[in-house]
Amino acid sequence: MAVPRVIQVPGTGQDERFGRFEDIEPLFPMTELLAALSGTRRAEHPIACWCVDLLELHAQDDTWADGLAARRTDLMHAIDVWTVGHVPQHRNGARLHTETVGSVVDRIARAYARFQRAMARHDAADPRVHAAWTQVAELFVAYQDLIVEVMRGQRRLPAPEADR
């Protein structure tokens, strides 16, 4: 099955769904990301849209198939390139984080897909549902901590891999 790749404007992480990024808030709050993933709010921010795309990939049974894995990598790369282009990186004294925003958002999408599968298969009171939701909640808190630290200049992000 052929999976379409993200269409990017080189160096910007721009996806054809978005116009200019100048007026978009750089990093997306976890509450808005959760609303986009749960479908309670339409995803409009680039990071939210790409996260919903990642969720759709992780919801499929064979996420690691060649075409899907390539699409997943492209989406994480788009998030990373967009973030580097829109978030100031403070080099003086800022500790380097071990993951890019793209990889963190991918982990959130994967955990949320697991949570959705657990909810579909088990009663809400089932410990497996609770464990799946706990993982999602922990990843959301880690994401929020990361973006706050980056915006305050306390953390810096690894550079995305070379242009793909």
Cα–Cα dist 59/37, whole Å? 12
pLDDT at 88: 76
What 8-state DSSP symbol labels residue 124?
Answer: T
What 8-state DSSP symbol labels residue 72?
Answer: H
pLDDT at 160: 84
pLDDT at 21: 42
Radius of gyration of the chain (CA): 16
pLDDT at 4: 37
pLDDT at 124: 92
Cα–Cα dist 16/13, whole Å? 10
Helix, strand or coil, per DSSP, at residue 92: coil
Cα–Cα dist 146/97, whole Å? 8
Residue with tokens 């080189």: 10
Backbone torsions φ then ψ of 25, nearest 5 degrees: -60, 130
3-state class percentages of the chain: helix first, strand second, coil last, to nearest 5: 55, 5, 40
Chain centre to alpha carbon of residue 48? 7
pLDDT at 20: 43
Going residue by residue through the chain (164 aa), what tens digit of pLDDT does each one get? 333 334 343 344 444 544 444 444 556 777 788 888 888 877 778 888 899 999 999 998 665 667 788 889 999 999 998 888 877 777 777 899 999 999 999 999 999 999 999 999 999 999 999 999 999 999 998 988 888 888 788 888 988 876 55
On the CB side of 37, how many CA atoms lie within 13 Å of its CA? Answer: 29
